[in-house]
Amino acid sequence: MAESLDGKVVYIVADGGKARILHHKDGHMHEVSSFAAAEIAGSSDNGRGDFSVADHHKEEFGRRVAKWMNDALHGSNTPDGFVLAAPAKVLHVIREHLAKPTQAKLIKSIDKDLINIPTNDLVSHFDIPETGWQTA
């Protein structure tokens, strides 16, 4: 059984344009990585006309976050689980593009935009159990 306190649970805070990757250890959150939509090359024209360019960028970025999560399970430092916080539309896109093994590692998803919350203040938003997250 893994616990969030050992740093094996990865926290992802995202919105439609930024993502922060964090670990929880010793009662504090630590940002270990981040990336932004500006780092993603691609067309701003989705060709469908059924949603705005801004929505298209959010969808592409949500796919990028899901890809990062999927890829994280193939490295040497594989996480025991993920906790994901993002606004509803972005959260939906991310979850929609998670591979089955990644879906199985998703401990909790939170429909909140926490991207601008200072790292030191994030712990209270995740309701982390005192004993840590139980993962399979």
Q: What mean pLDDT comes out for the span 60-69?
A: 95
Q: For the full predicted model, state whether its pTM sits above 0.85.
A: no
Burial class from Cβ neighbours inside 10 Å (0-12, 13-18, 19+) for residue 24 reads: buried
Q: Which domains does the chain have, with CATH numbers?
A: 6-125 (3.30.420.60)
Calpha distance 71→100 (Å, rounded): 12
The 10s digit of each residue's pLDDT in 97-123 is 999 999 999 999 999 999 999 999 999
The 10s digit of each residue's pLDDT in 14-36 is 998 999 999 988 888 999 999 99
DSSP state for residue 82 in the 8-state scheme = E
Task: Copy the structure tokens of residue 5.
Answer: 């306190």
Helices (H), the chain: 53-72, 88-96, 100-105
